[in-house]
């Protein structure tokens, strides 16, 4: 990855952190786009010390804020001469607490889908100039538990736990439609399921329940490093040059449900999303 520039969002923990670490080892110019700049800078120092790669920068990005997305993209377009890989890794999940962003959008959908949608638009010209380039979207098999209601794309009254599944469904619809729209441009788009990750969220479970959970996690959950492998594969593998509009699991192409692949649904969702993120006439079009 020497000479290549990669942006990864949300990389201060979990699979994002391990993806960033791997790319730093590979010599990429790594742009860590994170909400928690203090934590990101600490990791940056760790990566530089570990890899000897000094070409790592930290930028503030809050994907739940349309203004933050625009400010970040403006800075990237002003300062960077190329962008080889854009990795949409950042995500948020709530259970019961309903939250709305400063833009009036439901927090989970804004962070996991609409922020990345706007960011991709604002960076698309840089990606095209850097072809062959890639967009990688971290989705989830949990999409199979959801559906996408095109009549209610800002579901502020819906249980947030369910909206995480909806956002992952939306990620895949977005990825496939983006791939269709970018066909022939030299920019490829693929999405993935990282697997069930042992991220430490179960550490507060008291004994004796924790004993059984520990065995389940050890047997079935991946470590963050293991979970990052498919993202890394889609970002760097030479054998995927030119491959676009696919869904991957464990570094292999994997089948999708028919509903999520519907081109008419993808087109409609795209057009409605343009309004939701307040896309301007002067913004790049895809």
Rounded distance between C-alpha atoms, residue 106 and residue 183, angstroms: 31
| Strand spans (E) along the chain | 5-9, 29-34, 56-60, 85-88, 133-138, 187-193, 246-249, 252-253
Among residues 114, 143, 162, 164, the one annotated as catalytic is: 164
10 Å CB burial of residue 36 (0-12, 13-18, 19+) is: middle
Active site residue 164: yes
Strand partners, 5: 29
Establish how many alpha carbons lie within 13 A of residue 200's alpha carbon, considering only the half-sphere containing its beta carbon: 4
Residues 6+ apart with CB under 8 A from 186: 128, 131, 132, 133
Inter-residue contact 52 to 78 (CB < 8 Å): no
DSSP-derived secondary structure letter, 221: P
By annotation, the residues acting in catalysis are 164
């Amino acid at each position: 990855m020497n000479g290549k520039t990669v942006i990864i969002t949300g990389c201060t923990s979990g699979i994002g952190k391990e993806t960033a670490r791997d790319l730093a080892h590979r010599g990429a110019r790594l742009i860590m786009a994170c909400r928690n700049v203090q934590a990101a800078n600490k990791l940056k120092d760790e990566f530089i010390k570990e890899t000897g790669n000094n070409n790592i920068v930290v930028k503030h990005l809050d994907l739940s804020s349309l203004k933050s997305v625009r400010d970040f993209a403006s800075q990237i377009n002003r300062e960077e001469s190329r962008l080889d890989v854009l990795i949409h890794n950042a995500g948020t999940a709530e259970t019961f607490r309903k939250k709305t962003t400063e833009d009036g959008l439901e927090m989970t959908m804004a962070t996991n889908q609409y922020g990345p949608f706007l960011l991709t638009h604002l960076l698309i010209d840089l990606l095209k100039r850097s072809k062959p380039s890639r967009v990688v979207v971290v989705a989830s098999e949990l999409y199979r538990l959801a559906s996408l209601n095109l009549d209610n794309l800002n579901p502020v009254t819906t249980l947030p736990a369910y909206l995480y599944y909806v956002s992952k469904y939306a990620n895949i619809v977005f990825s496939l439609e983006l791939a269709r729209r970018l066909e022939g441009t030299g920019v490829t788009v693929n999405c993935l399921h990282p697997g069930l990750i042992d991220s430490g969220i179960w550490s507060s479970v008291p004994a004796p329940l924790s004993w059984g959970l520990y065995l389940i996690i050890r047997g079935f959950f991946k470590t963050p490093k293991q979970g990052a492998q498919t993202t890394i594969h889609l970002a760097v593998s030479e054998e995927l040059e030119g491959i676009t509009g696919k869904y991957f699991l464990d570094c292999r192409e994997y089948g999708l449900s028919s509903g999520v692949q519907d081109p008419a649904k993808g087109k409609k969702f795209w057009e409605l999303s343009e309004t939701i993120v307040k896309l301007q006439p002067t913004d790049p079009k895809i």
